[in-house]
Amino acid sequence: MSFVFDASKPIAIGCDHAGIEYKNAVKKWLESKGYNVKDFGTYNTESVDYPDFAHPTAASVETGEACFGILFCGSANGVAMTANKHAGIRAGLCWVTEVAELVRLHNDANMICIPARFVSLELAFEMIEKFMGTSFEGGRHQNRVNKITCA
């Protein structure tokens, strides 16, 4: 099933300690634009285990409670790996705007994972805007997306 942005549902957001500054800034930015954001933590800079926050964020997208998800950690690899363990989640690790566009356009990603230690906050905003504004292209990509899920 293709992900379609639904503004009537909240945007799920989560992070570990390395992503807290970005998560808080993005949450505030999205809320200033009128979006409802469901924050799954963490809520401070104390060292935490990223799966404790990536799993509930991904679960909210998986169940349809949230329209899509945003995850932050230092490299974004850990949160992306964790989120992608959930059936129906296609979490894309993004470090430039073009990748944020392609994970939507070609992979129908429903979560964006951003490496807070390697991109600027301004670039994070740009990638999220591009992610939210890009629709899945379908066509030849649909067959490939259909083959992602393991039975």
Taking only the tens place, the pLDDT of each residue in 139-151 is: 899 888 888 888 6
Positions annotated as catalytic residues are 73, 106
Q: What is the pTM of this model?
A: 0.95
Counting residues of the chain whose pLDDT is more than 90, the rounded percentage is 86
Whole-number Å distance between alpha carbons of 94 and 101: 9
DSSP assignment string, 68-121? EEEEEESSSHHHHHHHTTSTT--EEE-SSHHHHHHHHHTT--SEEEEETTTS-H
- For 105-131, what is each residue's pLDDT tens digit? 999 999 999 999 999 999 999 999 999
pLDDT at 2 over 70: no
At residue 116, the pLDDT reads 98
Looking at this protein, which amino acid is placed at residue 130?
K
Please name each of the domains of the chain with its CATH number: 11-146 (3.40.1400.10)
pLDDT at 33 over 80: yes
Do 89 and 83 touch, CB atoms closer than 8 A?
A: yes
